[in-house]
Amino acid sequence: MSTPERLTCRQCGTQIAPALLSCPACGWLVHGDELKRLAQEAEAAAAASRWVDALGAWRRVHELVPAGSRQFHAVAARIEVLGRKVDAGEDEAAERKRPAWLGRGGAIAAAGLLLWKLKAVLGFVLTKGKVLLLGLGKGGTMISMLLSAGLYWTIWGWKFAFGLVLAIYVHEMGHVAALRHYGIRASAPMFIPGLGAVIRLKQYPANPREDARVGLAGPLWGLGSVIGFYAVYLATGWTSLAAIARFSAWINLFNLLPVWQLDGGRAFRALGRAERWMVALTMGVMWFLTGEGLLVLLALAAGVRAAVGQAAETSDRVSFLQFVGLVVALSLLTLIEVPGLPGTP
């Protein structure tokens, strides 16, 4: 087994171990040429207001500078600023696209606003549809999906099996889309039969706000798939689709459990103490209204995290509203009636 060759510092001639990013003697940066290229790429992208491209380039720079160094902290600050520009840019772009006449009163304006919203929704679906196709073009993803579907097929039959795998895939691609939104490189989903699916991150969110929004993107997309399955069930009467919708709602609700690396746990890191208590209260109210036992576990975990966990100094309002909305919507969707299934309403 060969050992990696040591590098020689261009400035002082010191031998540098392969794992080091800088010379221990003089501080020369091993990847200096690549860092200059990436910095120029990032500045050009920022000058053209291509915030996602700029963010992605600075993230790659962040990987190549020594942790704890002055450059490391400076790049981290740039990433923080650009991450907020990425989010703000989407809101500004949406506002610019909205025709001014929609704000002028009456029923005509209301009807126009509805049509404009439908157009926006259609554009969103078409755009996200492209993202959904990305993973299906990966051989590893497809093979692991088929293996998982085969396992579920032996338990529940092929209709439920393929629907469940599709629902899990949509959930995971929600995470992938959010990661791409922040310029974070990640793999396509890989399915683990019987356990769901995982995504390998090649970079990581820079702060709790990004982590929360990436975490909640999975259940948000999952909510969309639940509504889609249920809508097709209402149109066709295929019982298996109702079962998939209900079970998917339960899985996505479970992922909001605010512990460990589950989506809810990641989202909780961006919430202040008051917002955490509000989420716990929402879970309790929804348990009272729906009788879904899983909500008891979620509410207890949220209450513990609110009481003793380290809360964020500044709460992320978007993550809070998304969290509460997901709890309410997914709780109600666990009430979907599945004909022939004991215990349904």
pLDDT tens digits, residue range 308-331? Answer: 878 888 899 999 999 999 999 999
Does residue 345 surpass a pLDDT of 80?
Answer: no
Please indicate whether residue 280 or residue 69 has the higher confidence score (pLDDT): 280
Q: What average pLDDT does the structure give for the chain?
A: 82
- Domain assignment of residue 240, yes or no: yes
Q: DSSP assignment, residue 191?
A: E
Please, which pLDDT band fits residue 182 given cuts at 50, 70 and 90? confident
- Domain assignment of residue 8, yes or no: no
Average pLDDT, integer, range 236-247: 93
| One domain for residues 268 and 320 | yes
Please, which pLDDT band fits residue 101 given cuts at 50, 70 and 90? very low
| One domain for residues 56 and 114 | no
CB 191 within 8 A of CB 145: yes
Range of the domain at 25: 16-87
Domain count, the chain: 3
| One domain for residues 127 and 191 | no
| One domain for residues 193 and 218 | yes
| One domain for residues 159 and 221 | yes
pTM, 2 dp: 0.75
Among 34-38, 185-189, 254-258, which range has the highest average pLDDT? Answer: 254-258
Comparing 34-38, 132-136, 161-165, 187-191, the range with the smallest average pLDDT is: 132-136
Q: Which two tokens stand for residue 230?
A: 């249920």
- Domain assignment of residue 40, yes or no: yes
pLDDT tens digits, residue range 244-299? Answer: 999 999 999 999 999 988 999 999 999 999 999 999 999 999 999 999 999 999 99
| One domain for residues 142 and 154 | yes
Q: Tally the C-alpha atoms within 13 A of residue 114's C-alpha that lie toward its C-beta.
A: 5
Q: Which residues are bridge partners to 191 per DSSP?
A: 197
| One domain for residues 156 and 296 | yes
How far from 182 is each of 106, 177, 214, CA to CA, in Å? 39, 9, 9
| One domain for residues 266 and 144 | yes
CB 336 within 8 A of CB 249: yes
Residues 6+ apart with CB under 8 A from 28: 9, 10, 11, 12, 22
Please, which pLDDT band fits residue 2 given cuts at 50, 70 and 90? very low
